[in-house]
């Protein structure tokens, strides 16, 4: 048994979900347990509570019942049953009957398990000795969740919990959760007036307020300058695009339920009556447009590698229940780039991307990160030779750049292998940021297959645009699949490009959500929306402070003057809570001596200094990006 083994941890947490289900069914007669999977760092269990309502205030009682049950759970026993047996055994639980019927229809085995006194229908893994292995748990929160994730179904009660092999690990995780609550970017965003959402704007669409817009602009300008230095050509592409483009790229067949249609018009061939309609849609990704820029004219091998970059805003539908501040939204800006190169250039190009990641992450204080290389899945496009070349290139590039990497066997997407980079923030939480992804789909060109026609015809939100299946097939065959992205080699022959997708931050919205929590809202001076709060002690000092304000602004600093009719202590407290890096205080002595008395947001008194010295000190800190 390995305590850090993901399979073991998942089995342990899933087993704990069973324990929770048993306790709930004892304490709340008539409650029905639905699903209870392991998730990252814990588990949840869904319940139809019937006449009962529970809250976090009930957790001590529920946990006590779980601990009372646990000594009786010596070992899980398992048994394969028929659908008829499943329906008989779980006739009082409609959720179990529905799942059993679905599993049986799909040809899956139906399994029961019982740790001693609680029979359940379940096919997942479990621990060998539950009474000894499940003792370090805690319940965390209650939420609502629709059965099977559909708003058409009943809202169930979801209880979240966590479980660890040792008490020390549990205590460390609970401490991290407390720190996370303090750093919740949604609360900090409200307290510091950084961003908001509004129902009139739309769910999952972020309003960036002036302060956070300042910081975003600094990050964007830095991103652009660094990419120009590293040979990227930056572009702009429209927010909407023809559906045809995403049919050719096959994004539509994979992501149609995440796309926003914005405009519908009839498509007419010649003089004939329209037989299908075409949407122009809000773009869900930038890559097909970057391909169109590449293909605007023939390309020579001498132009490669060609690196096209964009801070491109895309739109994807997320269910209302999963929207979360800046980190789960419906409109977001990706720091998206695509590299077109030859196979001989691949390793150098991937190494170049990894170097950017190292430099950028270090700059923002992310010094601990892990690379994960996802390899060929069961269903894939391209040849085995191409996949082998790409996977080996990723491994070699990661090793050459000093990245410690793990292999996610078979977890690559169908169109190519990838490297994902997960970073740890200041309190040890892991976040996925960067990705380097090969694409064997879009650069190629192929005819539409019969299987693809069947796949498209099953898409309800797509096939209604056509009068007949034959009309849809004609449309798909005319478009084909892929864009035939090529270059002319030294021998004068046309060859297919290697295409690499890459992001460093992922999306700016999510990155800023992570960044706010990483810094707990206290941005370093170079990123701080307001770098200096100028505080006159009394009203008679306001004129002198205004002159200092102008001098500091002329020096390029972001300064606010607080000349409110409040005490100096109240002003200091306010700007400290607003996490302004420097507070510059001016009274009689400072006015007369053309100085400021400087305090930091952490409470350190730096004493009096001339405006010139203060500007030099702050600019030095900005230059060092500390």
Taking 70 as the threshold, does the pLDDT of residue 485 lie above it?
Answer: yes
pLDDT (mean) for 45-51? 95
**Active-site residue, 501 included:** yes
Instruction: Quote the percentage of the chain above a pLDDT of 70.
Output: 96
CA distances from 91 to 27, 84, 123, 322, 333 (A): 20, 10, 18, 32, 49
> Which residue among 158, 185, 316, 351 is the active-site one?
316
pTM of the predicted protein model: 0.85
With tokens 């004493």, the residue in question is: 607
- Rounded Cα distance, 11 and 3, in Å: 11
pLDDT (mean) for 47-52? 95
pLDDT (mean) for 248-258? 84
558 CB contacts (<8 Å, ≥6 apart)? 214, 528, 529, 530, 531, 532
CB 310 within 8 A of CB 286: yes
Helices in 134-272 by DSSP H: which ranges? 167-182, 185-191, 210-229, 243-248, 251-255
Instruction: Compute the chain's Rg from CA coordinates.
Output: 29
CB 431 within 8 A of CB 423: yes
Residue 145, exposed/middle/buried by CB under 10 A (0-12, 13-18, 19+)?
A: middle
Backbone phi, then psi, for 24, in 5-degree steps?
Answer: -65, -45
Average pLDDT, the chain: 91
pLDDT (mean) for 353-372? 94
Q: What is the pLDDT of residue 297?
A: 95
Give me the numbers of helices (H) and strands (E) for the chain, helices first please.
Answer: 21, 28
Backbone phi, then psi, for 459, in 5-degree steps?
Answer: -80, 105
326 strand-pairing partners: none
CA atoms 456, 458, 464, 466: torsion sign: positive
> Which residue among 211, 338, 481, 579 is the active-site one?
338
Q: What is the pLDDT of residue 277?
A: 53
Q: What is the pLDDT of residue 152?
A: 86
Beta strands in 284-396 (DSSP E): 306-315, 331-341, 368-374
> Which residue among 287, 442, 562, 579 is the active-site one?
287
Q: How many CB atoms neighbour CB 427 within 10 A? A: 16
Please write the tens of the pLDDT for every residue from 525-541: 999 999 999 999 999 99
The pLDDT-based confidence of 233 (bands split at 50, 70, 90) is very high
Q: What is the pLDDT of residue 268?
A: 39
**Active-site residue, 190 included:** no
- Please tell me whether residue 28 adopts helix, strand or coil conformation: coil
**Active-site residue, 16 included:** no
**Active-site residue, 396 included:** no
Q: Name all domains of the chain by residue range, CATH numbers in brackets.
A: 6-182 (3.30.980.10), 211-264+278-362+438-519 (3.30.930.10), 532-624 (3.40.50.800)
Please write the tens of the pLDDT for every residue from 32-42: 999 999 998 89
**Active-site residue, 287 included:** yes
With tokens 């006590």, the residue in question is: 64
203 CB contacts (<8 Å, ≥6 apart)? 197, 320, 323, 330
Least confident of 14-28, 271-285, 286-300, 362-376: 271-285
pLDDT (mean) for 325-334? 95
- Please tell me whether residue 203 adopts helix, strand or coil conformation: coil
Q: What is the pLDDT of residue 272?
A: 42
Please write the tens of the pLDDT for every residue from 313-323: 999 998 887 88
Q: What is the pLDDT of residue 1?
A: 43
């Amino acid at each position: 048994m390995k305590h850090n083994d993901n399979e073991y941890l998942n089995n342990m947490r899933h087993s704990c979900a069973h324990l929770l289900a048993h306790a709930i069914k004892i304490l709340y007669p008539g409650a029905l347990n639905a699903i209870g999977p392991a998730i990252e760092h814990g588990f949840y269990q869904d319940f139809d509570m019937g006449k009962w309502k529970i809250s976090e205030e009930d957790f001590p009682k529920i946990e006590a019942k779980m601990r009372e049950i646990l000594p009786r759970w010596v070992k899980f026993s398992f048994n394969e049953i028929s659908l008829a047996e499943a329906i008989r055994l779980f006739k009082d639980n409609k959720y179990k009957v529905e799942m059993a019927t679905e599993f049986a229809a799909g040809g899956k085995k139906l399994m029961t398990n019982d740790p001693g006194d609680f029979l359940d229908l379940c096919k997942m893994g479990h621990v060998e000795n539950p009474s000894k292995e499940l003792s370090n748990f805690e319940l965390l929160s209650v939420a609502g969740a629709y059965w099977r994730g559909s708003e058409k179904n009943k809202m169930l009660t979801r209880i979240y919990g966590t479980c660890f092999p040792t008490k020390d690990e549990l205590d460390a995780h609970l401490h991290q959760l407390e720190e996370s609550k303090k750093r919740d970017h949604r609360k900090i965003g409200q307290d510091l007036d950084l961003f908001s959402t509004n129902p009139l704007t739309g769910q999952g669409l972020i309003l960036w307020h002036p302060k956070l817009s300042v910081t975003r602009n600094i990050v964007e300008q830095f991103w652009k300058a660094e990419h120009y230095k590293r040979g990227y050509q930056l572009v702009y592409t429209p927010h909407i695009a023809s559906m045809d483009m995403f049919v050719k790229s096959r994004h539509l067949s994979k992501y149609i339920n995440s796309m926003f249609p914005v405009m519908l018009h009839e498509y007419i061939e010649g003089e004939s009556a329209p037989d299908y309609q075409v949407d122009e849609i809000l773009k869900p990704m930038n890559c097909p447009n970057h391909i169109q820029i590449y293909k605007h004219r023939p390309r020579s091998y001498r132009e490669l590698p060609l690196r096209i970059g964009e801070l491109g805003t895309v739109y994807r539908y997320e269910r209302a229940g999963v929207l979360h501040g800046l980190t789960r939204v419906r409109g977001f800006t990706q720091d998206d780039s695509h590299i077109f190169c030859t196979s001989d250039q691949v390793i150098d190009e991937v190494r170049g991307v990894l170097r950017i990641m190292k430099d950028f992450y270090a700059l923002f204080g992310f010094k601990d990160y892990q690379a994960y290389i996802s390899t060929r899945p069961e269903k894939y496009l391209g040849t085995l030779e191409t996949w082998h070349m790409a996977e080996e290139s990723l491994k070699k590039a990661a090793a050459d750049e000093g990245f410690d990497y793990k292999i996610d066997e078979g977890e690559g997407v169908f169109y190519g292998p990838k490297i994902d980079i997960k970073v740890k923030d200041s309190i040890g939480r892991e976040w996925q940021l960067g990705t380097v992804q090969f694409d064997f789909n879009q650069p190629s060109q192929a005819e539409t297959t019969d299987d693809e026609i069947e796949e498209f015809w099953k898409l309800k939100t797509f096939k209604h645009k056509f009068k007949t299946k034959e009309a849809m097939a004609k449309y798909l065959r005319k478009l084909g699949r892929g864009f035939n992205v090529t270059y002319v080699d030294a021998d004068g022959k046309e060859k297919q490009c290697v295409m690499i997708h890459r992001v460093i931050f992922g999306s700016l919205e999510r990155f800023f959500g992570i960044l706010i929590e990483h810094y707990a809202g206290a941005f370093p001076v170079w990123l701080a929306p307001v770098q200096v709060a100028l505080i006159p002690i009394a009203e008679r000092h306001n004129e002198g402070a205004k002159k200092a304000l102008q001098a500091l602004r002329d020096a390029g600093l972001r300064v606010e003057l607080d000349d409110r009719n409040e005490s100096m202590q109240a002003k200091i407290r306010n700007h400290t809570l607003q996490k302004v890096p420097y507070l510059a205080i001016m009274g009689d002595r400072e006015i007369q001596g053309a100085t400021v008395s400087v305090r930091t947001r952490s409470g350190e008194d730096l004493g009096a200094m001339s405006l010139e010295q203060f500007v030099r000190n702050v600019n030095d800190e900005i230059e060092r990006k500390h």
